[in-house]
Amino acid sequence: MNPTTGWLVAGVSLLNILACVWLIWATSRRKPNEVAEGAVKEDVWDGDLRELNNPLPRWWLNLFIITIVFAIGYMVVFPGFGHMAGVLDWSKRGEMESKLAQLTERREAKLNELAAFPVAEIASHPDARKVGQELFGSYCAGCHGANAEGARGYPNLTDDDWLYGGTPQAVVASITNGRGGVMTPFLSQLSNEQVSQLIALVADWPEGEPSGRQAEGMAVFRQRCAACHGMDGHGNQALGAPDLTDDTWLYGGDPDTIRETILFGRQGKMPSHKALLSEQEIKLLAGYVIGLGQ
């Protein structure tokens, strides 16, 4: 509330109190049953029934006076005069902040208690998982989905396939610092035939020694792709390069999507959460995520 609004509120409040005082004073000047001019109203019922303009009963008048005194005292003690804080210096915001501080203190104590467990134990601890689930719903579900099964370009966290590793240290690092994955575009480096050979290999990675177009694709793969994905195609978690020999796909495993990935590359971004979450919260969230795969 700005000062102008505060004084306006105070002025209106005081005018109402003064109006009540004047009303009591004005209506209490005539004595009971006085029939002077103006004391009897002109309204007449049943021939001779008239309404007297008598003052209020004394006990009723006293109640009005007590109410006015209480109102003035209340405005002095509490912030009733607009922008003034009041004798007790109480405010709704101050009360809210005090309650919030108490809730925060209790929450921190609970987080410290649960985060004292190792991440591997948090993954199976019911209370710790409940807190981790709440954190996941607030900070992760927007990308990975409420059920953590991911979407196109966002990893599924319920399986055991990890781009950067599924150890407690790796998951904590991913949440804390974020990740930035880059797939190099090969539009200007590969011919259409080479791209087709790679698609034939990657779309259905052979279990044994490749033959035919897959063998041709393997030759291109080892020349262009093995530096990141490894000579055997099992990927490199240090770089976030995915395993190409399984049937888990981040952007899709159909030939058209694979062609798009090879030609134009991919850029994935996992944001850092160290400015959003405390160390305890990150630890609990990591334990929850690891527990999803278990």
Asked if residue 175 lies in contact with residue 282, where contact means CB atoms within 8 angstroms, the answer is yes
Q: Choose the final residue of a domain: 59, 89, 119.
A: 89
User: Is there a single domain that holds both residue 161 and residue 58?
Assistant: no
Domain boundary among 34, 54, 89: 89
Query: Coil, strand or helix: which one is 33?
Result: coil
Name the token pair of 160. Answer: 């055991």
Short-list 280, 71, 31, 210, CA closest to 288:
280
Tell me which residue of 184, 186, 208 sits closest to 196, measured CA to CA: 186
Statement to judge: residues 159 and 190 lie in one domain:
yes
Q: Residue 22, SS3?
A: helix
Amino acid identity, residue 113?
A: E
Lookup result for tokens 């930035």:
180
pLDDT digits (tens, 9 = 90+) for 94-109: 889 889 999 999 999 9
CATH of the domain at 177: 1.10.760.10
Question: What pLDDT is stored for residue 1 in this prediction?
Answer: 61
Residue 278 included in any domain: yes
Does any domain span residue 217? yes
Q: Total domain count for the chain?
A: 2
- Whole-number percent of the chain with pLDDT over 70: 90
Q: Rounded to an integer, what distance in angstroms lies between the CA atom of residue 118 and that of residue 286? A: 11
Q: How far apart are CA 8 and CA 2, in angstroms?
A: 10
Output the pLDDT for position 290.
Answer: 95
252 shares its domain with 285: yes
Question: How confident is the model over 153-165, as pLDDT tens digits?
Answer: 999 999 989 999 9
Predicted local confidence at residue 31, as pLDDT: 54
Instruction: Render pLDDT for 211-262 as a digit per residue (tens, 0 to 9).
Output: 999 999 999 999 999 999 999 999 999 999 999 999 899 999 999 999 999 9
> Greater confidence, 147 or 293?
147
Decide if pLDDT at 203 tops 80. Answer: yes
**Full domain range(s) for residue 250:** 110-292
Reading phi first (left if > 0) and then psi (alpha if -120 to 50, else beta), residue 14 is in alpha
Q: d(Cα 271, Cα 178) in Å, to the nearest integer?
A: 5
Average pLDDT value over all residues in the chain:
88
